[in-house]
Amino acid sequence: MPFLIQTTETQLHAMGNTCQNCAYCLRVDTTTLRCGQTYFQLPPSERKPMRLEHYPVVQADNSCPAWANQNAGVLRAG
Ligand code: SF4
């Protein structure tokens, strides 16, 4: 009988903490999302914008532990 292991990712996904709601998400167009975590984690004075191809494509319903580690003040209201 198969069993499920609830990972941090699946727990976050269940709470709706997905890329499409993440403050680090860069919406390129109506269908493409990219993760800007490496950019936004730097202090504003140290940020150097790069071409969008340098940020990894993410799926709208994806989750990652970084979402939960953000300060609640920077998260987008769902
Ligand atoms: S991969 Fe993680 S940090 Fe990047 S946009 Fe998605 S939830 Fe946010």
Full-model pTM: 0.75
Question: 36-75: per-residue pLDDT in tens?
Answer: 999 999 999 999 999 999 999 999 999 898 886 655 545 5
Per-residue pLDDT at 33: 96
- Which ligand 1 atom is at minimum distance from the Cα of 67? 7
Check if 55 has its Cβ closer than 6 Å to any atom of ligand 1.
no
Closest CA to 64 of 32, 36, 31: 36
